[in-house]
Amino acid sequence: MRILVIEDEEDLRDLICFTLESQFLAEVSQAACGHDAIRLLDESGPFDCVISDYSMPNGTGEDVYRHMLGKQLKTPFVLVSAYAAEAYPIFREHPIAGFVSKPDIFKPLKAII
């Protein structure tokens, strides 16, 4: 399973990646911002799942998701945010595969994966 993790907080990103690699034996790629994630999607795809924070410098989770929609990628998208997915119009218009609320993310994320 190939997973792309997008999170600007390095410690949290590393912890998410470690959890996915150890619990699911996933091959995990990571990006610190939306722009880097879009580049990885274009150059290193396809991924089996994308897990993304919403608010990040240099490209948001919404930017990534809109890019995926524009490219007609069917990759499941999981939002990890302090705000519910329904708070963002894009995720109401185009439902996502899952949502995990910060800060308690690991048990719900493991259930989705």
In this prediction, residue 110 carries a pLDDT of 75
Task: Identify the pLDDT of residue 61.
Answer: 97
Q: How confident is the model at residue 40 (pLDDT cuts 50, 70, 90)?
A: very high
Give the model confidence (pLDDT) of 48-59 as tens digits: 999 999 999 999
Per-residue confidence at 102, pLDDT binned at 50, 70, 90? confident
CA distances from 112 to 4, 36, 51, 70 (A): 15, 24, 11, 24
